[in-house]
Structure 1
């Protein structure tokens, strides 16, 4: 056991760490020595300077606003997705009625939906939250519905033979099966959620990371643009880690079954 844990940690941490180091070395090699113009590819040092110089002035408030829009949108999308899953669990016919609407919610591109919501709701947070919620709603709802429907029929028949009601079948079989699948969809959703917030800020905003990008790109402030990309990357990575931690908390049976079990001797 003492040798397995470090080996597992190394296998988990070392490959992405080596990849990041190699990309950083390649970035420094390409951007140094005047091989590429600074306005095309700034050096990592210039990006770090832009991040440090602008953080307290305008970047911190913009980051907090975009993060708030993202978190609220993710929360709304997940709540609606769970509510739809529960409703379909009690009324299966509702699932066939709702599925076309789920697909239609993703048929309209964000770049088209954003201006429409901005015209209707103004330049506040509401249009951004709705866009993020729509982006997060679809993967969570579809994965949960698919997992809830895919429960082994023999388990359902066994539970009904024990006088299980539709209520107990759903909450003891279908919903526990749908929960891990929903977290899988959530991990995908939170990766794209900050990008959806930025796209919605493009269509009309007075602050936020998207607003700063609109200002920096025409001025060729490439170092600041890269700094904003770093902020968005960190935001997506943090949300992904949070979603993974919540899955371990809410679905401990999945985490335990995925870990290797070592034989235990008598106590």
Structure 2
């Protein structure tokens, strides 16, 4: 019940936006080929659900594989950077430069170099999702309280032990914050890669629908990609709650604790 109450303002605002869009599309005289009503978009999504699903599967595959590679690389590099400050000074400028590259410009080049298969899509998804997680992890390691590290070292713990017992747990809130940011870019990165060159995918579906002057199908595909992003975001929130149960317990009101 509390979750529904918290979500109510967002549900109402989205509902009002869709209602205003529907009324404007129906009564303003604008052509459906320019701005279709939400009801038409939903109707066409149902009629073309098989084609949308068929094109969503490659996008999901590229998003999942690219994000898994990005997550693994971000964690491994963050550990190396934490153990080697000189490596951090060497790598961070390169990582920052990589984020200044416009995706719309480099996507065709990556497809040209690596072909129309899954590899360029994985690389582009990893490129747009890697940096927030990497920075979040490094900042999380740095946020560890010095007293905890000093106490562990006084008890005979080595650098690796201090990292596992203190620095890594301290980085978890930062990591999940970066994870939530990155996951919202993952589907967009996959769609951009498909725009640059692919046989199937939501990006290709949108491109074909646009070329055929079907904005209703373009918006239907946009709705599917938005739904995928929301599902991935919800999964990250669920994983965070499972990985950090103490954080949820700490947010419980004082009156809701176990009765004696």
Shorter-chain TM-score range: over 0.9
Asked if the contact 1:147–1:174 (Cα under 8 Å) also holds between the matched residues in 2, the reply is: yes
1:137 aligns with 2:125: no
- Cα distance change on mapping 1:68 and 1:257 into 2, 3 Å: same
Partner of 1:3: none
Q: How many residue pairs end up in the alignment?
A: 260
Deviation digits for residues 217-252 of structure 1 (CA, Å, limit 9, x no counterpart)? 122101101101100110110010011111111222
1:37 aligns with 2:31: yes
TM-score by length of 1: 0.92
Question: Shift of the alpha carbon at 1:89?
Answer: 2.9
2-structure distance, mates of 1:131, 1:260: 43
Equivalent residue runs for 1:50-65 within 5 Å: 50-56=44-50, 58-65=51-58
Question: Shift of the alpha carbon at 1:157?
Answer: 1.8
2-structure distance, mates of 1:20, 1:264: 35
TM-score by length of 2: 0.94
- Cα distance change on mapping 1:264 and 1:191 into 2, 3 Å: closer
- Cα distance change on mapping 1:225 and 1:264 into 2, 3 Å: closer
Asked if the contact 1:80–1:137 (Cα under 8 Å) also holds between the matched residues in 2, the reply is: yes
Q: Which runs of 5+ in 2 are unaligned?
A: none
- Considering only aligned residues, what root-mean-square deviation do their CA atoms show, in Å? 1.6
2-structure distance, mates of 1:261, 1:165: 38
1-structure distance, mates of 2:221, 2:82: 42
Partner of 2:199: 206
Equivalent residue runs for 1:1-267 within 5 Å: 6=1, 8-56=2-50, 58-262=51-255, 264=257, 267=260
2-structure distance, mates of 1:75, 1:260: 36
- Cα distance change on mapping 1:171 and 1:28 into 2, 3 Å: same
Question: Shift of the alpha carbon at 1:42?
Answer: 0.6
